[in-house]
Amino acid sequence: MELMNVLLVTYSFPPAGGVGVLRAATLARYFPAEGIRLDVLTARNASAVGSDPALLDEIPSEVNIHRTITLDLPFGIKKWIKKFITRGKPRKDSAASIAGKPGFLKRALQDFLLPDPQVTWLPLLTYAARRIVRKRKIDLVLITAPPFSTMLVVKRLRKEFPQLPIVIDFRDEWLSTTIDLVSFSRSERARKFAIQAEAEAVRSATAIVAVTEAARREIRSRYPLDPEGKYQLIPNGFDATRLPRANPDTQSRLDGKIVVTYIGTIYDSTEPTTLVQALQSLPCEIKSRFKLRFIGHIEEPSYREALLQLGDMVELKGYVPQHAALAAMIESDYVLLITHDRLNVSAKFYDYIGAGKPILACVHPEGDARRMVEELRAGWWADSGDKQSIRRLFIDAAARGDSLATEFQPDLEKIAQYERKPLALRYAALLHSIIESRIAGSSQS
């Protein structure tokens, strides 16, 4: 296997914490053993929900990490600005997102910070990427998004390095879901900018990698003239070295509580309003049996207020490092998945299945998350927008009781396919194949 030089561009990287860093951290952890000499270009002061230095300890010493400063605002200030622009109101469709006329300051912020606040990293990102490509004799550049502003560097690199293979890694699909659910700006101008930016980046890229088949098909459908092989699927996964598998029959407690744990950020894509309404409608004797723990950042005050309406039934733990979050998950009876997204599947889902925890999933009924819950027999699901459906989900969970150990029979063989190391090796093989194809094409020319 020929040794190849790869530049991985990722806005967030350890010691930054949160699920957004895990895909890049996994690739950096396993690529060096697969004939890849890896350089990582990241932001020194990236906005993040917290820090997790333990993740950095897992990165091999031979990985070269280049950190540049960014003018991006700290996490708390950026969230305040987003709240100011959107008035803290979740919006789930494009019609709502463009309704109303923002004032001058709001328009100025929306027009300047396109497609997202991390665009302030672009000048130094571009300069550093060009320098590293030349100095380190880079054979291939891999850019992971979101933030989607990092994709703007693709066109710039292509102009200067016409033959350089560039791969875009879409951790989330952008134009059909993310832009409406969680985008910083949802104006018509922002939508037009995003459409053009994605088209230019995809046109300049050598290959596109998505993390779900639904997202891969969605992105592919926008560019029908491209060859099918340009669009690849490599899903997210779980780290088996970090996740002891749970045994449901060991989870009974003296207080008789059914502990349900949610890990991750609560934001527009995972907003809990319907869940709260469903839980409030439960009979008192059933409601008293549940303890819901939310571990992670809650983006909007209105979502926090909604959850607190559940009283003693809920605990809001805030952000904790990954090892603490995983430990809390392991000692739970169920894990909770909330998503209104039709195409994207949260990274937490893979930790859930890797730990062998039964999932109570409040999901889009036509989404990939629902499909995977069923296909992997990973738990039980309800329509995230249907209060009665969610209510029934929790009534059934309470009725399951001691029979959970026999009723929950996940497909372990299928689940094993989502272990992070094999997926990283598959990614490495894809990058090697791209280089080999480029070399073969150059030889024929």
Q: Are 335 and 404 in contact (CB under 8 A)?
A: no
> Residue 242 falls within a domain, yes or no?
no
pLDDT of residue 282: 97
pLDDT score, position 98 = 33
Residue pair 259/331 in contact by the 8 Å Cβ criterion: yes
- Tokens 């951790």 belong to which residue? 171
Supply the CATH number for residue 327's domain. Answer: 3.40.50.2000
One domain, residues 99 and 198: yes
Are 350 and 326 within 8 A, CB to CB? no
Same domain? 196 vs 310? no
SS (H, E, C) the chain: CCCEEEEEECCCCCCECCHHHHHHHHHHHHHHHHCEEEEEEEECCCCCCCECHHHHHCCCCCCEEEEECCCCCCHHHHHHHHHHHHCCCCCCCHHHHCCCCCCHHHHHHHHHCCCCHHHHHHHHHHHHHHHHHHHCCCCEEEEEECCHHHHHHHHHHHHHCCCCCEEEEECCCHHHHHHHHCCCCCCHHHHHHHHHHHHHHHHHCCEEEECCHHHHHHHHHCCCCCCHHHEEECCCCECCCCCCCCCHHHCCCCCCCEEEEEECCECHHHCCHHHHHHHHCCCHHHHCCEEEEEECCECCHHHHHHHHCCHHHEEEEECCCHHHHHHHHHCCCEEEEECCCCCCCCCHHHHHHHCCCCEEEEECCCCHHHHHHHHCCCEEEEECCCHHHHHHHHHHHHHHHHHHHHHCCCCHHHHHHHEHHHHHHHHHHHHHHHHHHHHHHHHHC
Residue 131 lies in a domain: yes
Percent pLDDT > 70 in the chain is 86
Q: What is the pLDDT of residue 238?
A: 94
Question: Please, what is the Cα angle at 247 between 345 and 266, to 5 degrees?
Answer: 30
Do 427 and 408 fall into the same domain? Answer: no
Residue 54 structure tokens: 């333990």
Q: Give the pairing type, strands 140-145 and 4-9.
A: parallel
- How many separate domains does the chain show? 2
Q: Does 243 reside within a domain?
A: no
Domain limits at 287?
A: 248-418
315 and 305 together in one domain: yes
- Does residue 268 fall inside a structural domain? yes
Same domain flag for 396 and 414: yes
Question: What is the model's pLDDT at position 338?
Answer: 97
Is 48 part of a structural domain of the chain?
yes
In a shared domain, residues 163 and 18: yes
Q: What is the mean pLDDT of each run of 10 residues along the chain (445 residues)?
A: 92 90 96 97 87 92 96 59 52 37 57 84 96 98 96 97 97 89 74 95 98 96 97 95 58 74 92 97 96 93 95 94 89 96 92 95 96 98 98 97 92 96 97 91 63
pLDDT at 51: 86
What confidence tens digit (pLDDT) does each residue in 77-120 have? Answer: 555 555 555 554 444 443 333 334 455 555 666 666 789 889 99
